[in-house]
Structure 1
Amino acid sequence: MMTNLFSIFEPSSSIFNFPFNWMSTILGILFIPYLYWASPSRWSLFWSKIIQTLHKEFKALLTSSHMGVSTLFVSLFSLIVFNNFLGLLPYVFTSSSHMVMTLSLSLPLWLSLMFFGWVNHTQHMFAHLVPQGTPPALMPFMVLIETVSNIIRPGTLAVRLAANMIAGHLLLTLLGNTGPGLSLSILSILIFSQILLLILEAAVAIIQSYVFAVLSTLYTSEIN
């Protein structure tokens, strides 16, 4: 029976008609008690250093009117990077490779920013539609372009994260399915290439989490 190639990434197990694979989204919470209740370890100190570095960087991107918002984006980065790395483990469902997960992160954030900006800074939002120095003849086109680019922001955030995560997993799956029919010499090359791809996927997991959080921070900084 022919099935969709992407069906391997769909939730298959359920309890009381609830997709049990989506529970992997909160699987990272299981690591928190070790950080807070155990004695400080190298892992906890390393993670604290990452959080402090991200907090300083996000704080530099935001204006003085957004004090304390950097904590939100640090938490957003932590959630995404945990789910991306958990998806690299065998038999763990990668929720960040689905639009349901990524849109649920980007769309509410974008809607809240738009609502806050248009209610409290209406003139600034109108002025942002026309870049400074635009000729009068091009102003209607610039308003249209800026409006479209603003509307598609949550979609681009969601698609970028989901597409990058599912592309690497799909490549690993396709290469892994060819292993049983290969000779021993070619199989060793395949295993070595799989290890390299796994390292690349680990880097992509960090980069895409950082890109998602930084772009969200930049979108927030535009609303003064």
Structure 2
Amino acid sequence: MMPDIFSSFDPYMYNTLFPTNSMFLMMNTLIILFIQSSFWVMSTRSSTFKTPIKETIFTQLTRTSTTQLKGLSTPLSAIFFILIIVNLMGLIPYTFSTSSHLIFTLTLGLPIWMSLIISSFSHNPKKSTAHFLPDGAPDWLNPFLVLIETTSVLVRPLTLSFRLAANMSAGHIVLSLMGIYCASAWFSSLTTTIFLTISAMGYILFEVAICLIQAYIFCLLLSLYSDDHAH
């Protein structure tokens, strides 16, 4: 039993099933297997599995301005696969959950956001600056609107990273609580133990869906940020 419910987020509290270096090595290997090009005439098992995931992310990218920005679709697709794998690996018992930490999520979201800002101002500085002032606003309201728009653009990487880390952390905390109470009720109440075990199994399935949805939302918001790029 862990000392508290937040011990699952401390890599030094216990020996993880996969050490941090091995975990990233496994993640890199899986990423290579997922995003590599298929040279086979007939579809393999890996291509059959990853084709629906590719179609899902590319369908979303075509709805935004991402396809008009050369080189943006590839990193977004790679980030989508990375988040799916890392989120699902965090559900393995006694495994260090990487995606529940802000340093990991901020590392993925901040470079893409910063590259969009730099690229937009480098391509068309006048239009990029004009984006901070909505059309049709009264003159006396313009300074406040510029301040609000600037703040909303600057906090985008923080809200994006906090959203993913908070959702992953909340799910792992609930799973930890269920495991602690289930272990405590093992020798006291058989009915409570069975109920908590069934609830934990159902919540694990729900958490798997959350892992997939949060990966999609993360890449969805990054693709929507490309609509503000000065074309």
Per the normalisation by structure 2, the TM-score is: 0.84
1:63 and 1:7 map into 2 onto residues whose CA distance is 39
The equivalent residue for 2:126 is 123
How many pairs align? 219
Closer/same/farther in 2, CA of residues 37 and 175 from structure 1, 3 Å limit: farther
The equivalent residue for 2:11 is 11
The equivalent residue for 1:135 is 138
Of 202, 206, 221, 1:215 maps to 221
Deviation at 1:201, TM superposition (A): 0.7
1:89 and 1:37 map into 2 onto residues whose CA distance is 32
Structure 1 range deviating more: 168-177 or 66-75: 66-75
Closer/same/farther in 2, CA of residues 152 and 114 from structure 1, 3 Å limit: same
Structure 1 residue identity aligned to 2:151: V
Per-residue CA deviations over 1:184-211 (Å, capped at 9, x if unaligned) read: 1110100111011111111110111011
Identity of aligned residues (%): 34
Question: In the alignment, is the contact (CA less than 8 A) between 1:77 and 1:213 conserved in 2?
Answer: yes
Equivalent runs, 1:147-162 vs 2, <5 Å: 147-162=150-165
Determine if the alignment matches structure 1 residue 186 to structure 2 residue 192: yes
Question: In the alignment, is the contact (CA less than 8 A) between 2:8 and 2:97 conserved in 1?
Answer: no
Question: In the alignment, is the contact (CA less than 8 A) between 2:99 and 2:168 conserved in 1?
Answer: yes
Structure 1 range deviating more: 180-189 or 59-68: 59-68
The equivalent residue for 2:85 is 82
Question: In the alignment, is the contact (CA less than 8 A) between 1:24 and 1:95 conserved in 2?
Answer: no
Per-residue CA deviations over 1:53-111 (Å, capped at 9, x if unaligned) read: 32132022126631442222111111111100111112222111001101111112222
Determine if the alignment matches structure 1 residue 195 to structure 2 residue 226: no
2:67 and 2:19 map into 1 onto residues whose CA distance is 42
Closer/same/farther in 2, CA of residues 58 and 64 from structure 1, 3 Å limit: closer
Deviation at 1:216, TM superposition (A): 0.5
Deviation at 1:135, TM superposition (A): 1.6
Of 167, 172, 175, 1:172 maps to 175
Deviation at 1:5, TM superposition (A): 4.5
1:40 and 1:184 map into 2 onto residues whose CA distance is 49
Per the normalisation by structure 1, the TM-score is: 0.87
Equivalent runs, 1:32-47 vs 2, <5 Å: 32-33=32-33, 40-47=43-50
Structure 1 range deviating more: 185-194 or 43-52: 43-52
Specify the SS of the correspondent of 1:191.
Answer: helix
Unpaired stretches in structure 1, ≥5 consecutive residues: none
Structure 1 residue identity aligned to 2:23: S
Unpaired stretches in structure 2, ≥5 consecutive residues: none
2:25 and 2:39 map into 1 onto residues whose CA distance is 19
1:23 and 1:221 map into 2 onto residues whose CA distance is 38
Structure 1 residue identity aligned to 2:183: P
Of 98, 113, 116, 1:113 maps to 116
Per-residue CA deviations over 1:159-193 (Å, capped at 9, x if unaligned) read: 00000001000011011111222111110100111
2:87 and 2:166 map into 1 onto residues whose CA distance is 12
Question: In the alignment, is the contact (CA less than 8 A) between 2:8 and 2:94 conserved in 1?
Answer: no
Deviation at 1:33, TM superposition (A): 4.6
Q: What's the RMSD between the two structures over aligned residues?
A: 2.7
Closer/same/farther in 2, CA of residues 25 and 201 from structure 1, 3 Å limit: farther
1:22 and 1:132 map into 2 onto residues whose CA distance is 51
The equivalent residue for 2:76 is 73
